[in-house]
């Protein structure tokens, strides 16, 4: 097993064990490369079949990040190499989306401890878990507009599950969310202090596990609820909740021209909204148009169909010069001055956006997903 994915066995009082699966790449905020995705998928498949494994706890190494997403630097490097028509890029996204789909349908309870930074593929992993825990250090975001990509990893599906149009607002602005936002948006279920992870694990090992997925999930829900009450930690106020009416009005009209006009007014005495406005203004205009199209196409899609849609867009966008330039400016040169192809949303040709949703292959890599 890869050292980048660590597996710890916690023996249970009733026999069997709780499997702690840890993303172990703290030097890059536990961002997932192709190798790590493959290793994580392999570990989870083994645990799904192991009768001694009653449940999974998924977390990240270090105190700064659960998972900062996919390794965008690696993707950009592969895109620039022109390796065999980008098949390596396609393989990465196909493997990532299959992993997420399997995690959503994992046959045992999966608790995700989402402390620190949670972005992109990290958000996808969090959304896929059956029991999701946020902490005071949790910092969630969909910041892809700042690197010329777009929110994927199931975001097409889970944005629709968020209250009102808050998911669209987050995707367009890349604004930072706290634990209060995580619970309000439905991306997390429980709030616990960062220091309570080990005591939680100890308590979970003493539960009366039945080795029945439905019964164990119900018992785990009750145990986490009790543990949350006992921890008695004050949940921070949700930025999204207290501004919900404003967010609805800003995103009422999803046309690029209307959104650009509405978001131009995000300045004033509200620091959180100011930050959202700055990120939107400095981000990729073509990403904003892509997100608006993604949001409208995603309405009513089942998870498998949403991931299939993302497979198409990701394969196309990862090869796009806009993404390559965004990663250069933000992650490689770090001059934070990307030279976007378009300065305003109204300049982005609709045909360019539609092309991103056009499959580049004759056979879809995820054609069998959900079948």
Which residue in 319, 318, 315, 312 sits closest to 297, CA to CA?
312
Q: What is residue 370's predicted lDDT score, i.e. its pLDDT?
A: 85
CB contact set of 95 (below 8 Å; sequence gap of 6+): 34, 37, 38, 41
Are 315 and 360 a contacting pair, CB within 8 Å?
yes
d(CA 230, CA 223): 10
Per the confidence metrics, is the pTM higher than 0.75?
Answer: yes
Q: What is residue 142's predicted lDDT score, i.e. its pLDDT?
A: 96
Helices (H), 69-117: 72-81, 87-104
Pick the range with the lowest mean pLDDT from 62-71, 110-119, 300-309, 353-362.
62-71
Asked if the model's pLDDT at residue 110 lies above 60, the reply is: yes
Question: How do residues 186-242 score in pLDDT, each as one tens digit?
Answer: 999 999 999 999 999 999 999 999 999 999 999 999 999 999 999 988 999 999 999
Q: What is residue 1's predicted lDDT score, i.e. its pLDDT?
A: 47
Q: What is residue 220's predicted lDDT score, i.e. its pLDDT?
A: 98
Can you give the C-alpha Rg of the chain in angstroms? Answer: 20
Length, in residues, of the chain? 371
Asked if the model's pLDDT at residue 180 lies above 70, the reply is: yes
d(CA 356, CA 290): 8
Structural domains present in the chain: 5-356 (3.90.226.10)
Which residue in 272, 285, 299 sits closest to 344, CA to CA?
285
- The pLDDT of 17-33, averaged and rounded, is 95
CB atoms closer than 10 angstroms to residue 231: 15
d(CA 143, CA 284): 11
d(CA 149, CA 92): 15
- The pLDDT of 159-182, averaged and rounded, is 97
Asked if the model's pLDDT at residue 322 lies above 70, the reply is: yes
Question: How do residues 261-287 score in pLDDT, each as one tens digit?
Answer: 999 878 778 999 999 999 999 999 999
Burial of 334-357, coded b for 16+ CB within 10 Å and e otherwise, reads eeeebebbbeebeebeeeebeebe
Which residues face 239 on adjacent strands? none
Q: What is residue 82's predicted lDDT score, i.e. its pLDDT?
A: 59
Q: What is residue 85's predicted lDDT score, i.e. its pLDDT?
A: 47
Q: What is residue 232's predicted lDDT score, i.e. its pLDDT?
A: 84
Query: Hey, what are 295's tokens?
Result: 């949001």
Are 23 and 67 a contacting pair, CB within 8 Å?
yes
d(CA 277, CA 166): 15
Q: How confident is the model at residue 140 (pLDDT cuts 50, 70, 90)?
A: very high
Which residues face 177 on adjacent strands? 140
Q: How far apart are the two ends of the chain, measured CA to CA in Å?
A: 30
CB contact set of 64 (below 8 Å; sequence gap of 6+): 26, 29, 116, 117
The helix (run of H) or strand (run of E) holding residue 117 is strand 117-119
Question: How do residues 48-96 score in pLDDT, each as one tens digit?
Answer: 999 999 999 999 999 899 999 988 778 777 766 655 545 888 999 999 9
The helix (run of H) or strand (run of E) holding residue 228 is helix 213-231
Asked if the model's pLDDT at residue 177 lies above 60, the reply is: yes
Asked if the model's pLDDT at residue 333 lies above 80, the reply is: yes
């Amino acid at each position: 097993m890869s050292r980048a994915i660590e597996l710890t066995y916690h023996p249970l009082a009733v026999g069997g064990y709780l499997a702690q699966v840890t993303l172990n790449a703290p030097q890059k905020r536990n961002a997932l490369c192709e190798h790590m995705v493959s290793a994580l998928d392999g570990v989870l498949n083994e645990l799904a079949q192991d009768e001694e494994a009653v449940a999974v706890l998924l977390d990240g190494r270090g105190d700064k990040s659960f998972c900062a997403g996919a390794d965008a630097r690696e993707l950009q490097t592969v895109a620039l190499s022109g390796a065999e028509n980008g098949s390596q890029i396609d393989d990465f996204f196909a493997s990532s989306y299959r992993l997420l789909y399997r995690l959503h349908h994992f046959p045992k309870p999966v608790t995700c401890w989402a402390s620190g930074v949670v972005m992109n593929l990290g958000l996808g992993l969090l959304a896929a878990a059956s029991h999701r825990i946020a902490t005071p250090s949790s910092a969630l975001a969909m910041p892809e507009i700042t690197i010329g990509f777009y929110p994927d990893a199931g975001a097409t599906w889970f944005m629709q599950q968020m209250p009102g149009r808050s998911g669209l607002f987050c995707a367009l602005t890349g604004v930072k969310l706290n634990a209060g936002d995580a619970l309000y948006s439905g991306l997390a279920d429980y709030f616990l202090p960062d220091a309570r992870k080990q005591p939680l694990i100890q308590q979970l090992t003493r539960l009366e596990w039945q080795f029945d997925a439905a019964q164990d999930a119900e018992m785990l829900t009750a145990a986490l609820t009790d543990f949350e009450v006992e921890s008695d930690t004050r949940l921070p106020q949700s930025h999204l909740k207290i501004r919900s009416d404003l967010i609805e009005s800003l995103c009422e009209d999803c046309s690029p021209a209307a959104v650009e006009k509405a978001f131009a007014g995000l300045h004033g005495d509200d620091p959180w909204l100011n930050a959202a406005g700055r990120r939107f203004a400095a981000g990729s205009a073509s990403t904003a148009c892509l997100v608006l199209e993604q949001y409208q196409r995603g309405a009513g899609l089942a998870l498998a169909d949403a991931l299939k849609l993302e497979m198409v867009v990701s394969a196309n966008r990862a090869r796009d010069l806009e993404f390559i330039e965004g990663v250069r400016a933000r992650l490689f040169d770090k001059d934070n001055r990307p030279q976007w192809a378009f300065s305003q949303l109204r300049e982005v040709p609709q045909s360019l956006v539609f092309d991103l949703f056009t499959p580049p292959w004759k056979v879809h890599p995820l054609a069998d997903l959900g079948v």
